[in-house]
């Protein structure tokens, strides 16, 4: 190795230069994500609330409820309806998204781009004011998304110039999602409103209020360890493997040279 470096000093300069370049790049990456980050994390309440629905007509399966919150999810469950009846939910005040796969495990669907059509590739949510499902065996659950911008689990991130602007943008995001929506719920059988006798209906929604906001930072020690590991990996890929190939070729060349010398001496 020393002989190779002495014969080829450019190899040593390449190794040192590559190492310094990687150290500078990785140091800047750690700095920009731990000290000089422009991203902010905000937390919301994500409260699950029950709709205290009111009957529109005594004895008929027709109810309503009004919300004024920033909502991400709504769930409407019915049990005890006539088999094959239809549950219809109408939101007066906004369009919302629904897919039969919402809330189910191991299902592929997309809901966050209502103006795009991916139906050829996977299931997409329908973006409308009214949604319906058939109640097989008289029971079923209709799930929907209202605000597609708010974080479902109450933790979101945004990019801003400073903390004050980030606070204003997060508050505006919550306030813009607050709408007065009257939810109208009805169960129909053969086009007629059914009787509510013996029928159980549960309606709930998830509302959000801004709790706090803080600058997004990474753990410098942890990132340094990751960066060092990446540096070692880069050295291995950039230097060790080519050197192994080089020395293997040199060894094979020396071995062939020895064989040729032995043949000539004979």
Which H or E element spans position 262?
A: helix 241-265
Give residue-wise pLDDT tens across range 25-80: 766 666 665 555 688 999 999 999 999 999 998 999 999 999 999 999 999 999 99
Domains of the chain, first to last:
2-37+218-265 (no CATH), 40-215 (2.60.120)
Q: Which long-range contacts (CB under 8 A, 24 or more apart) does 195-200 make?
A: 195/59, 195/60, 195/61, 196/55, 196/59, 196/60, 196/61, 196/62, 197/59, 198/80, 199/61, 199/78, 199/79, 199/80, 199/81, 200/78, 200/79, 200/80
pLDDT of residue 51: 96
Give residue-wise pLDDT tens across range 184-234: 999 999 989 999 999 999 999 999 999 999 988 766 666 667 666 776 776
Give me 89's structure tokens: 């939910």
Q: How confident is the model at residue 5 (pLDDT cuts 50, 70, 90)?
A: very low
pLDDT of residue 135: 95
Q: Which of 232, 212, 215 is nearest to 224 (CA)?
A: 232
């Amino acid at each position: 190795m020393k002989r190779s470096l002495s014969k080829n000093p450019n190899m040593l300069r390449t190794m040192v230069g590559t190492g310094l370049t990687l150290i500078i790049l990785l140091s800047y990456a750690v700095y920009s994500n731990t000290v000089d980050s422009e991203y902010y994390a905000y937390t919301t309440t994500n409260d699950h609330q029950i709709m205290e629905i009111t009957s529109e007509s005594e004895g008929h399966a027709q109810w309503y409820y009004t919300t004024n919150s920033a909502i991400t999810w709504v769930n409407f469950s019915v049990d005890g309806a006539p088999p094959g009846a239809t549950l219809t939910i109408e939101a007066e005040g906004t369009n919302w998204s629904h897919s039969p796969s919402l809330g189910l495990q191991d299902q592929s669907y997309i809901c966050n781009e209502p103006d795009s059509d991916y139906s050829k590739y996977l299931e997409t949510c329908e973006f409308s004011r009214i949604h319906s499902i058939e109640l097989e065996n008289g029971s079923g659950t209709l799930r929907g998304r209202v605000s597609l911008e708010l974080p479902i689990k109450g933790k979101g991130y945004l990019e801003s110039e400073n903390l004050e602007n980030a606070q204003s943008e997060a508050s505006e995001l919550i306030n813009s999602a607050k709408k007065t929506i009257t939810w109208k719920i009805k169960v129909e059988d053969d086009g007629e409103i059914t009787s509510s006798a013996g029928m159980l209906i549960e309606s709930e929604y998830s509302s959000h209020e801004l709790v706090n906001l803080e600058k997004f930072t990474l753990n410098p020690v942890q990132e340094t360890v990751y960066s060092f590991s990446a540096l070692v990996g880069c050295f291995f890929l950039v230097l060790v493997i080519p050197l192994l190939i080089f020395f293997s070729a040199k060894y094979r060349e020396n071995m062939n040279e020895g064989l040729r010398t032995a043949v000539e001496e004979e």
